[in-house]
Amino acid sequence: MTQPYTSHSLVRVRYAETDAQGVVYYANFLVWVEVGRVDYLRAAGLSYRDIEKHGWGIMIVEASCRYHAPARFDDELQIDTWCDEIKRSSFRLRYTVTRTEDELLLAEGHTTQVFLNLKEQRPAALPDELRAILERTAAPS
């Protein structure tokens, strides 16, 4: 087995993402981990566009986040994404969100997503290619 693969994504905090407490509104971390998820899958050879071309969808069935420190407007953040669990039609991704300036961990979390046959609106087995890549690169949980 090769080393667990982790993708790295950068975002800069937008004013739109802040709230009246002067820091980022908590739901926006889920938007950023989506950026991480898309980049992870792209690096694994599977673009969201390809997914949709095949009539598949990715449905989040669980999301969780722990917040350690607030993000602020104009912060540059790094999202690290890796896989730590693979099942028949779903897999779990883990994320950390770190402020690049001082490498402070702001938040960490995970999402579990199911592969979906969009026409039938039913779970579908992970495509073999994706499964192979996930299995080769996932971290033991």
Does the protein bind its own copies through residue 100 (CB under 8 A)? no
43 binds its own copies (CB under 8 A): no
Compare residues 22 and 140 and give the one whose CB is closer to its own copies: 22
List the beta bridge partners of residue 122.
117
Q: Which of 8, 45, 55, 64 binds its own copies (CB under 8 A)?
A: 64
Asked about 75 being catalytic, the answer comes back as: no
CB of residue 120 to its own copies, shortest distance in Å? 14
- Smallest distance from its own copies to CB 91, Å: 15
Task: Spell out the long-range contacts of 116-122 with Cβ–Cβ below 8 A and sequence spacing 24 or more.
Answer: 116/56, 116/57, 116/58, 116/59, 117/55, 117/56, 118/52, 118/55, 118/56, 118/57, 119/55
Structure tokens at 73: 């407007």
Contact status: 50 vs its own copies (CB under 8 A): no
Of residues 38, 46, 71, 97, which one binds its own copies by CB under 8 A? 38
The alpha-helical segments, DSSP class H, found in 1-141 are 28-43, 48-53, 128-137
Task: Between 87 and 136, name the residue whose CB sits nearer to its own copies.
Answer: 87
Nearest one of 119, 27, 43 to 82, comparing CA atoms: 43
Query: Per rule CB under 8 A, is residue 123 in the interface with its own copies?
Result: no
The C-alpha atoms of residue 9 and residue 16 are separated, in whole angstroms, by 20
Question: Is 74 a residue that touches its own copies (CB under 8 A)?
Answer: yes
Interface residue list for its own copies (CB under 8 A): 14-16, 18-23, 25-28, 30-31, 34-35, 38, 47-49, 52, 57, 59-67, 70, 72-74, 118
